[in-house]
Every structure is written in C-alpha cells, then in structure tokens.
Homo-oligomer: A and B are copies of this chain.
Amino acid sequence: MQHATPSPAERPLRADARRNRRRLLDAAIALILELGGEPSRDAVAERAGVGIGTLYRHFPDRHSLLRAVALDVIDRTVERGEAALAESTSGGEALRRYLHDAVDSGLGVVNVVHALLDRTDWPDRRAAAQHVLDRLIDRARRDGAIDHDVTATDIALAAIRFCRPLAIGLDPAEERAIAHRQLAAYLDGLPVRLG
C-alpha cells in the first residue's frame, strides 16, 4: 500500500471519451423530455451519434445512464438555485427565478427518472436539492413573499408539474415558452404576491 492505487475512476478520461459521454447525456435528456418516458438504449446512442458499444462502455448497467442524467440535471439546478439565492434582491424574486431556471435546465427529466429509479439512489444530491429549496422558501417567507401555508411540497410539486414535458409533439422552444407562461400565472396566483 505504498502509493495509493489510483482507483480507475480517477484516471482522467481521454478527450473523445469525455465528449461522447457528454453527448450521450445530452441525447438522453433530450429524448426523455421529448417523449416523456424512458427511451431505449439504441435510441439514445443513435441520437448521440455514437455506437451502442460506446453507450455500454460508459453506462454499463440498466440504471447508470438514468442515474447520471439525473445527477447532471440536479447538479445544474442546485447550482442555479445557489446563484439565484446569491444574486437576487428579494426572496420572492429568487424563488421565481429558481423555478423558471428549472424549466430551462431540464429538471423535468428528474421527474421522469425519479419514477423509474429507486429512491435510495443518490441520497446526497437529493439532500442538496432539498437544502437549496428550503433556503429559497425560507427566504421568500421572511421577505413576506409567500404565506406560511405555501409549503416546500407545494413548490416541489409545482416544479414537477411545470417542468414535465407535455409530450404533445411541440418543439422544445415552444414547449418551454408555454411552461414559462403557465408557471408565471401560477406564481401570480399563489397566496401573497412574489416579488
């Protein structure tokens, strides 16, 4: 045990491997958002412009692709949540911005994946997401932007509803535009006005 044997995960990926991994993730996200369900492996590989062998090398078993997709999206959402918290002038504005960002960053896939995955997966990330949301709500409350009867569950469920793809054959831009419009109206209707 002289020099710690570097676990294989540590070795940096070759450039093409990193690129393909990213492509697979993006393809999977796009497909899930489009069809509102789990896409077949072959479809993901084709969409990514990559061989199936490549998909299996990066994501060997049934769940690992979905897991990776969920982590990717959650991380992005948490990051944006932090930014919203840091940069917004009011709690209401931060919360509103967070939810609109969630629509844009594809949080919808997490909902879809969530249904397919064991809840015991990635407890840490879920905790991180939960934590950001809690802080957002807390601040919005302290600023008087939302009532106390608006719970974290309400917001989480709203995120699920408004981020979920309509799966009606709309193109992604239109889909997002609609989600933003509807979300805005919903937020306007929540007890007490959001900044």
Contact = CB atoms under 8 A, between A and B. Distances in A.
Contacts of A114: 168
Interface residues of A, number: 27
Nearest to A184: B189
A152 interface: no
B158 A182 contact: yes
A115 B167 contact: yes
Interface of A: 36-37, 111-112, 114-115, 154, 157-158, 160-162, 164, 166-169, 178, 181-182, 184-190
A160 B162 CA distance: 11
Interface centre among A36, A164, A182, A187 (most CB of B within 10 A): A182
Contacts of A111: 166-168
11 contacts: A36-B36, A36-B37, A37-B37, A115-B167, A115-B168, A160-B168, A164-B164, A182-B186, A185-B186, A189-B189, A189-B190
